[in-house]
Amino acid sequence: MRATSTGQRLDITRAPLAERSTLAEDVRDGLTRPFKELVPKHLYDARGCELFDEICTLEEYYPTRTERAILTAAAADISDRTGAIELVELGAGSASKTRVLLDAIDADGRLERYVPFDIAEAVVRPTALAILGEYPELGQVHGVVGDFISDLDLIPEPATAAPRILALLGSTIGNFVGVERAALLSGITSLLRPQDRLLLGTDLVKDPAVLEAAYNDRRGVTAAFNLNLLEVINRELDGDLPVENFEHVARFESDLDWVEMRLRARAPCQARIGALNLEVDFVAGEEMRTEISAKFTPARIEDNLAAAGLEIERIYTDAGDLFALTLARPAA
């Protein structure tokens, strides 16, 4: 079942809330493990989305401005090479960088449809409306509220036989590891026709000091983003997790090539998650993982894509090799 509201130029499709919101089961599973862990998609309630947008403007958070600069340099080439008339963006958020690509496709006179897809209901409609307003010649914006792990089938069929781009920017792919990452990439491959392309943004392995600074900003915005996850649980699941007893931790795990965000209990505490009838204990100093942000090398990008049946057409990077934007196609 899906819900669609149809306007002339605006469509919004929502996966049913009961299927999309796995918060209860994820919290029960994650808080009853010996090493507690929460699922990062739950960081993005309305407040989490606002905080993420603020993170993107921080001096320490180089990925957004670097990816934007790469896109700015590459957008005309991407539009030219792909001949795309349509852009589907997974984890679109507020689509701030996406405009660069939409501008290039628009300048080529081909912009027909934009599909922002995100788990966060709070961002999909405003993003869709903003893009509609900014691109009067755009035929349609079709927003999808869903989980790109389970709801890719909600993406509308391509409008015509003309090519489309599926974009996954912001190194969102780095929030997934192992079989989950493989499943997400394979799911994307299954949506690509021979003429379509994936545009994948990946943060690259670099000096750990630069990586750790990006997740430990001086203004504490990333800390607020991380701690907001406890507010989400308290609000949505009738919990009483003592937010002030937790502190933000972010470390680069050099043996795994990823940054882990955790929440650490300053002192022992107990909490009750009413909706789950669950009591949870934390010992002093106990850490709970809230997000993995994996970093990539060109070889790892190629391997991951190849395992999903994709091959690289072109990799665009910045002069400092901080970030990569990869255009990939279904393997011959």
Ligand X SMILES: C[S@@+](CC[C@H](N)C(=O)[O-])C[C@H]1O[C@@H](n2cnc3c(N)ncnc32)[C@H](O)[C@@H]1O
| Residues in 78-97 that interact with ligand X by CB under 6 A | 91-93, 97
Task: Verify binding: residue 148, ligand X, rule CB under 6 A.
Answer: yes
| SS3 sequence of the chain | CCEEEECCCEEEEECCHHHHCCHHHHHHHHHCCCCCECCHHHHCCHHHHHHHHHHCCCCCCHHHHHHHHHHHHHHHHHHHHHCCCEEEEECCCCCCCHHHHHHHHHHCCCCCEEEEEECCHHHHHHHHHHHHHHCCCCCEEEEEECCCCCCHHHCCCCCCCCCEEEEECCCHHHHCCHHHHHHHHHHHHHHCCCCCEEEEEEEECCCHHHHHHHCCCCCCHHHHHHHHHHHHHHHHCCECCCHHHEEEEEEEECCCCEEEEEEEECCCEEEEEHHHCEEEEECCCCEEEEEEEECECHHHHHHHHHHCCEEEEEEEECCCCCEEEEEEEECC
Q: Which stretch binds ligand X (CB under 6 A): 10-18, 166-174, 234-242, 245-253?
A: 166-174
Among 12, 13, 38, 52, binds ligand X (CB under 6 A): 52
| Residues in 105-134 that interact with ligand X by CB under 6 A | 118-120
Task: Verify binding: residue 170, ligand X, rule CB under 6 A.
Answer: yes
Task: Verify binding: residue 60, ligand X, rule CB under 6 A.
Answer: no
- For residue 18, the minimal CB distance to ligand X (Å) is 16
**Between 9 and 48, how does the x/- string for binding to ligand X read (CB under 6 A)?**
--------------------------------x--x----
Task: Verify binding: residue 56, ligand X, rule CB under 6 A.
Answer: yes
Among 10, 69, 73, 149, binds ligand X (CB under 6 A): 149
Residue (286 or 318) nearer to ligand X, CB: 318
Residue (153 or 279) nearer to ligand X, CB: 153
* Closest residue to bound ligand X by CB: 170
List residues near ligand X by CB under 6 A: 41, 44, 52, 56, 64, 91-93, 97, 118-120, 147-149, 169-170, 172
